[in-house]
Chain A
Amino acid sequence: MIPFTVIGGFLGAGKTTLLNRLLGEAVDRRFAVLVNDFGALDIDSRLVTAHGGDTLALANGCLCCTIGDSLVTTLLDLLERADRFDHIVVEASGVADPGRIADLAALEPRLQRDGVIVLVDAAEVRERAADRRLTDTIERQIRSADLLILNKVDLVTDPGGDSGADLAALRDWLYRQSQAPLFEACRAAVPMGLLFGLDRLGITADAPPSADFASWSYTWREPVPRQALTDLLHDAQRGVLRAKGIVRFDDSPDRRSIVHLVGRRIEIRDGGPWGDSPRGDTPDSRLVLLGLKPVLGCLKRQ
């Protein structure tokens, strides 16, 4: 199954900047990125290996497609070439509800819904959301987020003034609308591993993405109480940005449960019986968490 990520956020929130980073930094994975407009992307022409109408192929294996008039047909066309990429990222339009786009993954067995990442322009969002024609559009986007990126915080954090209070008020406003973890950034600088996972499977334990983040892996020999684990993940949602693992739950010890968390969204699906693995692995539960250092520190002590 191909991981499917949707990047949302109102006009000017930094979606294109984020996608430029993704395309520039992608090394071990071939992303297919569906964008509204090639023109806005900042792609070094020397890295373009092929340009055919609606598609650009890059030297690092990534593909860029313009969505044109219909996301549905663009996506279905892309899936005809599913062997050429490892992860699909869709740039939602500035007024679209990215959650609705992510729903497509539920209709397509080849897709695995990964996350809805919504960028928010720290300097502008309150004013834009106060416009009655845009209020509901912007609030829907924020409510759809699995992970929120509060972008351009440098524009509201001025140590000389009292705008630190603005940032605190902004955080409160976002928290009132969404349970999603909030990640603060300037110029959409977010470790890509946090947004898209560190490898094709999701995340790995041994690649600390940056100084502020930590990863933590855990192995249980005994069956894991389902309720306890989901409660723990729910509690930690605002600090755990991703989790991935195969767990043997106490209520279904004979089957693998695949746990996948992106931001506030936890998905647990059946991974088949333990016995049928060609590697004959032991039924140990393994879970890898990735998140903000202080939060993970607390978890570790529990």
Chain B
Amino acid sequence: MTTTVYSARRILTMNPSQPFASHVAVRDGRILGTGSLDQLKGWGKFDLDDRFRDKVILPGFVEGHSHAFEGGVWKYPYVGYFDRISPEGKRFKGLKNIDEVVAALAVHEKTLPKGTSLLAWGFDPIYFGGRRMDRGDLDKVSTERPVVVIHSNFHVANANSPVLAKANITRDTNVHGIVKDAAGEPTGELQEMAAKFMAYRAAGVELSAVLSDKEAIWRFARVAQLAGVTTATDLHNDLPESTVDGYLQATQSADFPIRILPAFAAGSVAPAEGVPRLQGLMKKNNERLRFQLVKIVTDGSIQGLSARMRWPGYYDGTPNGVWNIGPDDIDRILLAYHKAGFQVHIHTNGDEASEVAIEAVERALAAAPRWDHRHTLQHAQMADAGQFRRMKALGMCANLFANHLFYWGDIHYAKTLGPERAERMDACGTALATGVPFAIHCDAPVTPIGPLFTAWCAVNRLTASGRTLGEAEKISVADALRAITLGAAYTLKLDEELGSIDVGKRADFAILDDDPLQVAPDKLKDVGVWGTVLGGRIFEAPRA
């Protein structure tokens, strides 16, 4: 039984009775106490570890909405507009125009064996002043090898001519999702189901496995850990046997740097089959792996124009989006998991989807009253004050997509939502005011995992173009830090175990170079992450 006391420049505990401390004592992977060195001495013999004396210690960050798919896609080259840190800690510079993307792909192409396809991800043409990529661009990468570039939203892709030729896609192919130029020729841009189908077709059926195998889970854990995350969700997974095996193998290693919570994709099988399956999986839980969450995906995305909107709908007049799981099935599935005692996370982007989900929870509670269910709306990007009041009344939580403000805020302001609704989207201020327990998230790989960046978004609400989107919905740095630690832990029902630095909790820390409460709020995202501590084990991050 060894006890280690760590000194720090400052410790931000998220424990209101002792919000700041200079030392934290750790025993058996748990927090023995915080305070001054003198206050901790009474616990007996200890080793004093001064390695963090210049650092600031926070509770390890909790990412309440991410996908292990982030680790899957890092198998392939990243070609996005913004810099992004790889699982190895390498900084990939953002590519600022289509020529840079093509040049990077051409270099990568030379490294690939003959007969394979080239896949890349993270591409986002919305910053390229209207110019779209076409097959001519990608034919410069190769006219023989299939090349597919997947956009950052994962709903659109670009393909080169060999991909189109293999699928017999010509000017005569008249289906949704095949974009054509003014002359009627397919440009190589593919949308929605066409994009997904062609990407999988080009990559071969092994793509599914590559995206979810043990290595992918490791890469996901590393990317998260580099950002100071100690607990992350994989918030929608069918959980086939192969994936479960990958999880079990990865998390059995003491070097595995995070705790991970996969959420069972409730729409993938009937509840009568899903409930016992999830109950069975929970028996396999270990310190770093928790099966306990359920996810229902109701609608699509706002930027993809597939979110379900209430009147008056999309600002640019686009017809309403689509249900992934319709209102009747949301009721049925939610009730089944609710009755079985599970906490259900419900993806709702548009406000009609939020409305349907809230009403489903209301009906489930009327049918089977339960206390502290904490059913959580995930994204809830368009939820208005009235919906937050209903969520509060029903005991629901929200996990708001703060990163969205930066990456798509400009598009929402100009096209999808219009100024008024864009300014109140991802309404952290309203959540706080109405008392709805909330977290904020990245939805990696849709945006990069980085809770300090996410907190920066909630505090500053700046778009990529520099517009402040909704002064009234800004929250303080302290509230944002709570949202990425204890707030997120609450939405996962782990707040008694994680999320603050308090006696008896797990010794999960984020080790920062600076004090986020001392830096200017607009510099929050630039605070360096030295590494993490997970259950007392130290994980230093390589410097990017």
A residues bordering B, Cβ < 8 Å? Answer: 11, 37-40, 53, 66, 68-73, 75-77, 80, 93-97, 99-101, 103-104, 106-109, 131, 133-134, 136-137
Stretch at the interface among B136-144, B169-177, B465-473: B169-177
A69-B197 Cα distance, complex, nearest whole Å: 14
A133-B327, A134-B326, A136-B319 given; A103·B265 CB < 8 A: no
Q: How far is the CB of A121 from chain B (nearest CB, A)?
A: 12
Contacting residues, chain A, for B241 (C-beta < 8 A): 53
**B175 close to A107 (CB less than 8 A):** yes
The chain B residue with its CB closest to the CB of A137 is B323
Q: Do B273 and A77 touch across chains, with their CB atoms under 8 A apart?
A: no
Residues of A within 8 A of B192 (CB): 100
A100 adjacent to B238 (CB under 8 Å): no
What residues of A have a CB within 8 angstroms of the CB of B320 in the complex? Answer: 136
- B325 within 8 Å of A by Cβ? yes
Give Cα A95–Cα B269 distance, bound, in whole angstroms.
16
Nearest chain-A residue to B265 (Cβ)?
A69
B205 and A73 within 8 A (CB): yes
The answer on a CB contact under 8 Å between B356 and A133 is yes
Q: Which residue of chain A lies nearest to B241 when distances are taken between CB atoms in the complex? A: A53
- Whether the pair B193, A137 counts as a contact (CB closer than 8 A) is no
A68 engages B173 (CB within 8 Å): no
- Cβ contact within 8 Å between B174 and A106: yes
Q: Tell whether B200 is near chain A: CB-to-CB under 8 Å.
A: yes
Q: How far is the CB of A54 from chain B (nearest CB, A)?
A: 8
Q: List 16 A-B contacts (CB under 8 A).
A: A11-B326, A39-B270, A68-B268, A72-B193, A72-B197, A73-B208, A94-B329, A95-B326, A96-B322, A103-B193, A103-B194, A107-B194, A107-B198, A108-B167, A109-B168, A131-B327
B168 and A95 within 8 A (CB): no
Which residues of B are found within 8 Å of A76, using beta-carbon distances?
197, 200-201, 205
List the A side residues contacting B461 at CB < 8 Å. none
Given contacts A72-B200, A133-B352, A134-B327, contact A106 B269 (CB under 8 A): no
With contact pairs A11-B326, A134-B327 given, residues A68 and B238 touching in the complex (Cβ less than 8 Å): yes
B170 CB to closest chain A CB (Å) equals 10
Q: How many residues of B contact A (CB 8 A)?
A: 43
Contacts of A97 in B (CB 8 A): 322
Partner of B205, one of A39, A40, A80, A101: A80
User: How many Å from the CB of B347 to the closest CB on chain A?
Assistant: 13
* B200–A73 touching, CB < 8 Å: yes
Q: Which residues of A contact B328 (CB under 8 A)?
A: 11, 94
Task: Point out the residue from A39, A73, A104 that lies within 8 Å of B272, measured CB to CB.
Answer: A39
- Which of A75, A95, A133 contacts B325, CB < 8 Å? A95
Bound together, the chains give a CA A4 to CA B276 distance in angstroms of 34
Using an 8 Å CB-CB cutoff, how does the interface string of B422-453 with A read, 1 for contact, 0 for none? 00000000000000000000000000000000
In Å, the complex CA distance between A199 and B332 comes to: 39
Task: Say how far A97's CB is from chain B's closest CB, in angstroms.
Answer: 7
Given known contacts A76-B205, A104-B197, A107-B194, A68 and B269 CB-to-CB distance under 8 angstroms: yes
Report yes or no: A69 in contact with B267, Cβ–Cβ below 8 A: yes
Does B196 lie at the interface of the complex (its beta carbon under 8 Å from any beta carbon of A)?
yes
Judge if B324 is at the interface, Cβ distance under 8 Å: yes
Identify the 10 closest CB pairs spanning chains A and B, nearest first: A95-B326, A103-B175, A95-B323, A106-B175, A69-B238, A39-B270, A37-B270, A69-B268, A68-B268, A109-B168
Closest partner residue, chain A, to B326 (CB atom): A95
How distant is the Cα of A101 from the Cα of B320 in the complex, in angstroms? 19
Tell me if A133 and B168 are in contact (CB < 8 A): no
In the complex, residue of chain A having the shortest beta-carbon distance to the beta carbon of B327: A133
User: Which residue of A has the minimal Cβ distance to B238?
Assistant: A69
- B326 in complex: contacting residue of A70, A94, A107, CB < 8 Å: A94
- Judged by a CB distance under 8 angstroms, whether B259 is at the interface is no
Cβ of B308 under 8 Å from chain A = yes
A residues less than 8 Å from B327 (CB atoms): 131, 133-134
- Nearest-CB residue, chain A, relative to B177: A103
B195-215 interface with A by 8 A CB criterion? 196-198, 200-201, 205, 208
CB pair A72 B196 closer than 8 Å: yes
> Smallest Cβ distance from B538 to chain A, in angstroms?
37
In the bound complex, CA of A97 to CA of B175 (Å): 13
For residues 333 through 386 of chain B, which have their beta carbon under 8 Å from a beta carbon of chain A? 352, 356
A69, B269: Cα distance in complex, Å: 9
- With a cutoff of 8 Å between Cβ atoms, the chain A residues found around residue B173 in the complex are 106-107
**In the docked arrangement, what's the CA distance between A72 and B202, Å?**
13
Min CB distance, A57 to chain B, in Å?
Answer: 19
In the docked arrangement, what's the CA distance between A80 and B205, Å? 9
Do the beta carbons of A109 and B167 come within 8 Å of each other? Answer: yes
Bound-state CA distance A104–B326 (Å) is: 22
CB contacts under 8 Å to A, within B243-285, are 265, 267-270, 272-273
Give the CA-CA distance A108 to B177 in the complex, in Å.
14
- Residues of A within 8 Å of B308, CB to CB, are 133
Q: Which residue of A lies closest to B168 (CB)?
A: A109
User: In the complex, A68→B205 CA distance in Å?
Assistant: 16
